[in-house]
Amino acid sequence: LEIRRMRPIAVTKRVQESWVASGEKRLLVWLAGRTPQQIGPDHLTLLGFFAQVGAGLFYALALGNRFWLVAVIACLALNWLGDSLDGTVARVRQSLRPRYGFYVDHMVDSFGAVALMGGLALSGYMHPFLAAGLLVAFLMLSIQSYLATHTLGEFRLSFWRFGPTELRILLAIGNVALFWKPRVHFIGGHYRLFDVGGMIGLLGMSIMVIFFTVQNTLRLHREERISR
């Protein structure tokens, strides 16, 4: 255990190029400096997790009362706070635990994504098969990112300027629109708003998975070319 604890961690480059990254980073550092000492990174991780589970629960409850969509927006805000601030607090306090933090944070994200998409599938605002497809695409994109972290030493937090924060913002805006107009006219027909948005999101994530898989495969092939 002591040998494993002392084993050096490979240097990993964090790639964060989303639209709001620079402003978000300054805000998180400001918040981390003002977070009470008794609140640690683990508390914030749990806050983010339970907020995401709450968002899924409130989506399911929205089947009977659309006012629960407002509670979903509040949960998305709390999820951003906990999920984004935990690592910043650890870095500001110089109390990083790289292996522990990486593993726990991303397993929590995976369980939270299951809860969120499960709630959407039960909400009546999105077809269950589409919610399942979005979950699979998210997990595939996550797997690609984790493998790239291990093989390339690059942990990508955003893809084509879109990161978790942008997705939360889009989902919150979608909730506001959903509250007033759950169905929209699209390509000659009327569809559920979240079905249209979900199809666009599924297509986008699928393209990202394929693009970055091919890009990283070619890069690794060049870097580990066998000389004959």
Q: 82 burial class (0-12, 13-18, 19+ CB within 10 angstroms)?
A: buried
* Chain position carrying tokens 């199809």: 199
Q: 114-124 pLDDT, tens per residue?
A: 999 999 999 99
Burial letters for 123-155: b for 16+ Cβ neighbours within 10 Å, e otherwise? bbbbbeebbebbbebbbbbeebbeebbeeeeeb
In the predicted model, what is the mean pLDDT of residues 163-192?
Answer: 86
Task: Say if residues 216 and 152 touch (Cβ distance below 8 Å).
Answer: yes
Strand partners, 186: 189
Amino acid (1-letter code) at residue 97: R
Look up residue 145 and give its two tokens.
């990112």
Residue 114 near residue 100, CB atoms below 8 Å: no
Query: Considering the entire predicted model, what is its pTM?
Result: 0.86
Amino acid at 144: Q
pLDDT tens digit sequence for 122-169: 999 999 999 999 999 999 999 999 998 888 888 877 787 788 888 899
